[in-house]
Amino acid sequence: MGRHSRKGAAPSVADTGQQPVVEPAPSRPGTPQGTGRRRRQPDGPGTPAHGTPLYGTPERGTPAHGTPAYGSAGPGTPAHGTPVHRVPASAGAPGASARGGHPQHDEGGPRPGSYGPGPGPGRTRRGAEAPFVPGPRHEGLPEEGPKAELPAARGGLGRTLTGVAAAAVATVLAVVVAGQVTDRETTEAAPRAAGEPDGRASADGPASRSDERTAPTTPAPVVTPPPPTYEQLMTRQYPIDPKLKGSGAFKAVPGLQKAPGPGQLIRYRIDVEEGLGLDPELFASAVQKTLNDPRSWAGRGAMSFERISSGEPRFVITLASPGTTGFWCAKSDLDTTIDNVSCDSASTERVMINAFRWAQGSATFGPKAMYAYRQMLINHEVGHRLGHTHKDCATPGALAPVMQQQTKSLNIGGIKCRPNPWVYPGS
């Protein structure tokens, strides 16, 4: 740095009472000034705390840090440099003001006019605008041209460095906070990436797409229909092969159905050929109900029928396939294979009911009269076992007698009658 011009002659050793100090030679361009520490001189009258020699006669209010006063701007106010610490603007030149609370770079030790030890790490002077951050010494700044030689640039540069330091601290804090937020978001996103539930559905996940979500549905209550009644079952037709020949093995329908009324007690048993696929319980109930109906053989109180499954029956009502029925009917010299009909095999204990007729009925009654046809079939074959023979209709349009072969025809000798299942139809 070049020397500044000054007014008047340089003070002599006799005037100042101090030994002259040789200033360091100007550095080469681009080399920072003040890279070394100045040798401290003994303090004397008017000597600043840091040993910088005064050019000119010291006066009251000379700056504490040794900035030379250029000219005589007035008591305590330098012409161009840093104003005296804690001196109000009214005490100096017009427009001069003290830098209240601007942090100073200390080299250690107390200073004249200060409140105590210089600020250490993390400490600031009263009224500081930002936390103290150590920065480069002003003496170590590189030359930047003519402006770098002006002592007045020291205060502006200090403010600039302080602002830069404060901005750096704020930037560091912002980076730290941003890093913490990022870590927290990463930690929260990890369970979601691993498929763990976090109480929220991803905005891009399938759970947020209404077109892929299935609305919960309440299953419809299962309504179990009631079982069909006896009357309903008696009106239905059941599939069976008209040429079926079963195993020939019979099985008695278990249970006991007591005779319901007075009269001669007639015990019977019911056997059903195995493998027919027909309901033996339905067949047993139909026989018991039909025989004890007031319109049947027990209608006038002459007899009452009781079904048993063990003991000695008077006869055995047997439900068998067409082939097995033909076999047992042939034992009594009866041919049932021509019209696939039933018979009372009188030479045996069995009253044979053809399973095909029981399941499918006949053309004379039709499918809508299955109930009546089954009643007629039971009454007709049991009537033979009770000693009754065939009887034909004598009056056209009248009800056919129950012992007429109604399965074969309702028109006998040109007399057409109506179907009839009962012994006493008017009862």
DSSP string, 143-188: P-SGGGG-TTHHHHHHHHHHHHHHHHHHHHHHHHHHHHHHHHHHHH
Tell me the two tokens of residue 161.
């460095």
Span 113-139, mean pLDDT?
46
pLDDT of 317 > 70? The answer is yes
Q: Among 39-43, 282-286, 398-402, which is the least confidently predicted range?
A: 39-43
Rounded Cα distance between 115 and 126, Å, is 9
pLDDT of 36 > 70? The answer is no
| pLDDT tens sequence across 4-28 | 444 444 444 444 444 444 444 444 4
What 3-state class would DSSP assign to 288?
helix
pTM of this prediction?
0.52
Rounded Cα distance between 83 and 92, Å, is 9
pLDDT of 141 > 80? The answer is no
With a pLDDT cut of 90, the percent of the chain lying above it is 46
pLDDT of 94 > 60? The answer is no
Print the domain residue range for 368.
237-387
Does residue 354 form part of some domain? Answer: yes
Does residue 373 form part of some domain? Answer: yes
Does residue 341 form part of some domain? Answer: yes
Rounded Cα distance between 325 and 341, Å, is 9
pLDDT attached to residue 215 = 72
pLDDT attached to residue 218 = 87
| pLDDT tens sequence across 212-261 | 667 778 888 888 999 999 999 999 999 999 999 999 999 999 999 999 99
| pLDDT tens sequence across 373-399 | 999 999 999 999 999 999 999 999 999
Does residue 329 form part of some domain? Answer: yes
Q: How far is CA 160 from CA 130, 227, 291, in A?
A: 12, 100, 125
- Counting every residue written for the chain, the total comes to 427
Does residue 271 form part of some domain? Answer: yes
Does residue 102 form part of some domain? Answer: no
Counted domains in the chain: 1
pLDDT of 120 > 50? The answer is no
Does residue 289 form part of some domain? Answer: yes
Does residue 185 form part of some domain? Answer: no
